[in-house]
Amino acid sequence: MANASYPTVPKGATGVLVLADGSVIFGRGFGATGAEVGELCFHTAMTGYQEIMTDPSFAGQIITFTFPHIGNVGTNLDDIEADTPWALGCVVREDVTAPSNFRNVEPFDQWLKEHGRIGLAGVDTRALTRRIRLAGAPNAVIAHDPSGNFDLKALHEQALRWPGLEGMDLAIEVTGEKRDWADGGWALGQGYHLKATKPDAPHVVAIDYGAKHNIFRNLVKAGAKVTVLPATASYEDVMGLQPDGVFLSNGPGDPAATGSYAVPVIAALLTENVPIFGICLGHQLLAIAAGASTLKMHQGHRGANHPVKRLEDGVVEITSMNHGFAVDTSTLPENVVETHTSLFDGSNCGIAFTDKNAFSVQYHPEASPGPQDSFYLFRRFVEGLK
């Protein structure tokens, strides 16, 4: 339990961040009231805070935004990657201002409040980011009380008790139901208007471990008919739909934990030589199914400006990333090769089988937010099914 002295709550403080090491950071709370415990990370994207907050891969995490102006364009019904924000809360530098954008539907503060998510403003996010980079992503509690009444000892003990993401299966909590996906590319004034209408479109069965909607949209945009299944789908569930290919989605938590039920299904699909494409958690699960292992990263990669080298030709792709685990390249079997690496730290960012039509990447080619350098991967997968 906590055994430390705690500071007095300063006048005007309505929010607080309490780290597992006992550090206390005060600020101005916004959004929902209450307290949430999770892993504290940082995200370097300059745009797309609504997409980031709704990315299911952020389940169990509190996001520190390095860009100081968050919330200034409000929120809308299009810029979401799931039906609800999965991030537990966010930490920002500047107070959220009144929205200034013609697409705005409601202010960011109100949107967070409606979805039960906590915000903390007035924090030196640059210093906090440096701390996470040096010491790793800590467990923390974010709390908001308009009266400034905080039991810091209890919050610290809550942070200490939380077990952390390692060994935690969160995909089971964020996965969706079986559904046919129709939305495609987005256009101003038209919304998600591109549909897969061709009767001979390849059929992709996508296993949802906590997928971002834009992944499914890009599969449709690339020319596929998409059926989504939950993370717990069996081999029989998948093959009963007679897929031309199978997609393995992104998602939160420890891939080794999710792999307890996901890997046997993927391994069976590999045995039957079903074409497979995986992203993020799906990439890690595919690697485990091949016989490799994963490891917890010191701070993870979360941002929209990560350079990745494509090893086949040396091309550098600027990518969007969101992951705290990585494939251990040294454990890859002989029939699996590394295809992409991070130019930040050399960690694995892609694999491909030499004897099967199966490949995956650690980053997010659908971006949202982020660059579109890697959309070709969707086309490569779908066109390879025709």
If pLDDT is split at 50, 70 and 90, which confidence band does 1 have? very low
Reported as type and span, the H/E element at residue 132 is: helix 125-135
Q: How does pLDDT run across 214-223, given as a tens digit for each residue?
A: 999 999 999 9
SS3 182: coil
In 231-368, beta strands by DSSP E = 245-248, 276-279, 294-310, 316-327, 336-342, 348-353, 358-361
pLDDT tens for each residue of 14-70: 999 999 999 999 999 999 999 999 999 999 999 999 999 999 999 999 999 999 999
Quickly state the pLDDT bin for 183 (edges 50, 70, 90): confident
Spell out the alpha helix ranges (H) of 212-253. Answer: 213-221, 235-239
Topology of 171-383 in CATH? Rossmann fold (3.40.50)
Can you give the residue ranges of every domain in the chain? 15-161, 171-383
pLDDT in tens, 305-361: 999 999 999 999 999 999 999 999 999 999 999 999 999 999 999 999 999 999 999
* Torsion 227-233-237-243 (CA) sign: positive
Is the pLDDT assigned to residue 2 strictly greater than 80?
Answer: no
Q: Per-residue pLDDT for 197 more than 80?
A: no
The CA–CA distances, whole Å, from 76 to 48, 50, 63, 209 equal 11, 8, 20, 25
**DSSP for residue 201:** P
Q: What is the mean pLDDT of residues 159-176?
A: 97
Rounded to two decimals, the pTM is 0.96
Residues whose CB is less than 8 angstroms from the CB of residue 208 and which lie 6 or more positions away in sequence, other chains included: 175, 176, 228, 229, 230, 231, 249, 251
CB contact burial 346-358 (16+ within 10 A = b; e otherwise)? ebbbbbbbeebeb
Active-site positions read: 280, 364, 366
- 386 — pLDDT class (breaks 50, 70, 90): confident
**Average pLDDT taken over every residue of the chain:** 96
Q: Which fold has domain 15-161?
A: Glucose Oxidase; domain 1 (3.50.30)
Contacts of 314 (CB under 8 A, 6+ apart): none
CA-CA distances (angstroms) from residue 363 to 53, 213, 224, 295, 332?
Answer: 17, 15, 21, 16, 18
- Pairing between β-strand 245-248 and β-strand 15-19 as defined by DSSP bridges: unpaired
**Stretch 239-257: mean pLDDT, rounded?**
98
Classify 217 as helix, strand or coil. helix
In degrees and rounded to multiples of 5, residue 21 shows phi and psi of -80, 5
Mean of the pLDDT values across residues 263-286? 98
114-150 per-position pLDDT tens digit:
999 999 999 999 999 999 999 999 999 999 999 999 9
Place of tokens 């210093």: 127
Sign of CA dihedral 50, 51, 55, 60: negative
